[in-house]
Chain A
């Protein structure tokens, strides 16, 4: 069945450092891929998405490219800020299950 694997955290970075959070997926067909962000005590917010191979989703300086050949959707940001500290979830939607499948989440802590 469909699944999402993302790197375990926590990821601790200094302000202005480069961020990569790895995400790979297993799915039949051509799923849509998403990154959601969850700030402390809050629900999830959509950060970015990509619906087909080679699409690049971007928002607030974050980017992720849908790589079908490597079944990956890694999240990147060139210069993180303290305000980026949150839990990031990679997710996919598609196939016969009609469900949004989440990875386990990666906690990002950015220090000043």
Chain B
């Protein structure tokens, strides 16, 4: 089946550091990828929609300059948390939709990245 790889799975770093998270679709091309944030014991919050070759679409309340998204190819999207602070600590999950798939087709999720800022 479709596989989405997310790397790294866990990051622990000091406050002020910028952290890059990669999301790759391993066996299909994805024109659209999604980035979610999950707080403890809560549901997933969509942060932004990443479109290959164009700017990401951010949800209301998500800082574009804080969470930089790049979708340079049909198999890779990156999320960079710039100058991370403890309040950015969270579980970040990406997902991808297969190129050409209709809107009723499921997204395929990565295993998530646990970000901990000290």
Please report A residues at the B interface, Cβ cutoff 8 Å: 32, 34, 36, 41-46, 49, 51, 89, 93-94, 98-100, 102-105, 107
Contact = CB atoms under 8 A, between A and B. Distances in A.
B43 interface: yes
19 contacts: A32-B103, A34-B106, A41-B112, A43-B4, A43-B6, A43-B111, A44-B95, A45-B109, A46-B106, A46-B108, A49-B106, A51-B104, A89-B43, A99-B46, A99-B49, A100-B34, A100-B107, A104-B43, A105-B41
B12 to A, nearest CB: 15
Interface of A is mostly: strand
Closest 5 CB pairs of A and B: A32-B104, A44-B109, A43-B111, A43-B109, A43-B112
A98 B103 contact: yes
Interface string B71-94: 000000000000000000000010
B104 A105 contact: no
